[in-house]
Structure 1
Amino acid sequence: MKKSWLLSLMMSFALLGGAVLPTGASVSAASDTTPVYYDENSAVTEDPAGEDTSVDEPEFTADEADLLDYIDQLEAAAVYEERAFNSFKGGMTITSANRKSIFLKLNNTAIPNYTKYVSKLKLIKPKNAELQKIHAKLVKGSYTQLEAYQLFKQSVSKTKVNSTQLKQGNDKLAAGAKLIEQSNQEFIKYANKLGFDL
């Protein structure tokens, strides 16, 4: 059975460089259209013709189950990442005129939420060694981006924008994005190896 339903879930994660993970993934069983009858004594019974209408849950290997658990944990953390990114819809161009509003967005919304995101990522402990390496790269890239946001905040904290800190922040942001993209590509290869199609 092809497992493309899982990797379609991860497609936006890979394409957006870890910016937003979709929520509400569900596992659908086989496309059996036989009616299922429920009674108060059991979850699934036979239909009136006497055929068994129960649907078997797909069985996953330990690595597949670890991958699914990992994705669930990423989705839970992604809520905070999304809040941080949503605070800068439309981009973040820093000028002397908007310096104060950028500082407030960074200080009150973006950095606290992205900090929670990185903290939640650090709590995720995949069991599979290969997935652990991929995840470690995601954590490092995300932490590097958090450092970039902190540099941006410092660059606009005074009345004059500090262009040196702004450049350092841009460099860190690019370095973090590169690590996240590498993590995404390695994740895709790993998932494909387990039989999940992208």
Structure 2
Amino acid sequence: MKKVVSFLLTAAIMLVVAVPFAAAKPSAMSLLQACKITVDKQVLFIKEDDEARTATIKLACDPNKVDYSDISYSLVGGQVDADAEGREIKVTAVKGGAGFVKIEHDEYIAVKIRFRVFSTFDKETPEQRVKPELSNKQKALIADYKSYMIQVSNASEHESRALDAYNNNRYVDSSNKSAVYAVFNKQVVPNYSKFLYSLKLIKPKTAELTAIHKNVLQHAQLRFDGFSMMKQSMAGAKLNSKMYDQGYAKVNQGTTYSDKAVDQLDKLSDKLLSLEEEL
């Protein structure tokens, strides 16, 4: 129920909880955002000593994002063998050529680590390369996506503060109008203004993220306008219920654009998950 009018003709308005855009967005898609992956060397030699034949891949993952038991690896090309030991993967040269160890997680873009393998030190040739499987356009999209998600996440801290204050003061009538107005004046509108300003500073580089950001900006602008109208409706001696309702409608209208943006991000997420990133 949005509005209740008492027998004393005093307006009392009850609003639905507003959810931050950040709460609905997909998680970061690159495994490199959840795990720091390092390798001590990527050129190996079959007929040299143990140190030259082997390499170690180390994983250090954020436990809030990734469970190590959900990470797996596979070999591409047959040039190396590998064995997992705790949070390390021991790699051993098998045959000459170039191949990969691919590290995978169902919710992230896989990471492939390239190894060049030679028989002895004197056989190494710098020309031996593996053609990258990602095009420059795909690499640019992954980079833009990672950058965009970080920037939106940082900006959304302001939105979360605004909506926490808003959701804790969702009821207004003649008895608490002044108190609710103070919350809108000091917390809701200023924090949402910072959120909108932060979003306007974000400049995606790819067409996909530009289209998504257009909807995110529309979402934020409508919500900001709505909260501003709701604040203004409480500024006078009496609550202006009509203006309050108009502001509330704008807040809801903004949600339709965030829903579009989340749907677009979901589709982009599926697209990115089909790719593999090379370390």
What TM-score, normalized by structure 2, do the two folds share? Answer: 0.54
Q: Residues 112-151 of structure 1 correspond to what in structure 2 (within 5 A)?
A: 112-151=190-229
Query: Does 2:157 align with 1:79?
Result: yes
- 2:186 counterpart SS class: helix
Query: Does 2:18 align with 1:18?
Result: no
String of CA shifts for 1:137-185, please: whole Å, max 9, x gaps.
1101111000000010011111211011011111111111111111111
Return the offset for 1:27.
2.2
> Partners in 2 of 1:145 and 1:95 — Cα distance?
21
Return the offset for 1:44.
4.1
Q: Which residue of 2 aligns with 1:53?
A: 56
Q: Conserved in 2, the CA contact under 8 Å of 1:121 and 1:139?
A: yes
Whichever of the two has the greater Rg, that structure is 2
Residues 19 and 153 from structure 1, CA distance in 2 versus in 1: closer, same or farther, beyond 3 angstroms? farther
Q: Which residue of 1 aligns with 2:238?
A: 160
Out of 247, 259, 268, the residue aligned to residue 169 of structure 1 is 247
Q: Conserved in 2, the CA contact under 8 Å of 1:107 and 1:153?
A: yes
Q: Conserved in 1, the CA contact under 8 Å of 2:177 and 2:239?
A: yes
Out of 176, 179, 187, the residue aligned to residue 265 of structure 2 is 187
> Partners in 1 of 2:274 and 2:251 — Cα distance?
30
Whose strand proportion is higher, 1 or 2? 2
Return the offset for 1:45.
7.3
After TM superposition, the structure 1 stretch with the greater mean CA deviation from structure 2, 157-166 or 91-100, is: 91-100
Whose helix proportion is higher, 1 or 2? 1
Q: Which residue of 2 aligns with 1:33?
A: none
Instruction: Give, as a single letter, the amino acid of the residue that structure 2 aligns with 1:27.
Output: A
Structure 1 residue runs without a partner (length 5+):
1-15, 31-35, 37-42
Q: Conserved in 1, the CA contact under 8 Å of 2:20 and 2:156?
A: no
Query: Does 2:35 align with 1:28?
Result: yes
> Partners in 1 of 2:149 and 2:236 — Cα distance?
40
> Percent of aligned pairs with the same residue?
26
Instruction: Give, as a single letter, the amino acid of the residue that structure 2 aligns with 1:18.
Output: F
> Partners in 1 of 2:274 and 2:237 — Cα distance?
52
String of CA shifts for 1:85-134, please: whole Å, max 9, x gaps.
12134451111111111111111111111101001101111111121011
Structure 2 residue runs without a partner (length 5+):
1-18, 43-49, 59-100, 104-110, 113-137
> Partners in 2 of 1:86 and 1:186 — Cα distance?
26
Q: Conserved in 2, the CA contact under 8 Å of 1:17 and 1:180?
A: no
Instruction: Give, as a single letter, the amino acid of the residue that structure 1 aligns with 2:56.
Output: T
Q: Which residue of 2 aligns with 1:6?
A: none
Out of 175, 181, 184, the residue aligned to residue 103 of structure 1 is 181
- Displacement over 6 Å in runs of 4+: none
Residues 196 and 154 from structure 1, CA distance in 2 versus in 1: closer, same or farther, beyond 3 angstroms? farther
> Partners in 1 of 2:36 and 2:169 — Cα distance?
41
- 2:171 counterpart SS class: coil
> Partners in 1 of 2:271 and 2:231 — Cα distance?
41
Residues 91 and 103 from structure 1, CA distance in 2 versus in 1: closer, same or farther, beyond 3 angstroms? closer
Instruction: Give, as a single letter, the amino acid of the residue that structure 1 aligns with 2:222.
Output: T
Return the offset for 1:196.
6.6
Q: Conserved in 1, the CA contact under 8 Å of 2:24 and 2:262?
A: no
RMSD in angstroms over aligned alpha carbons? 3.0
What TM-score, normalized by structure 1, do the two folds share? Answer: 0.74
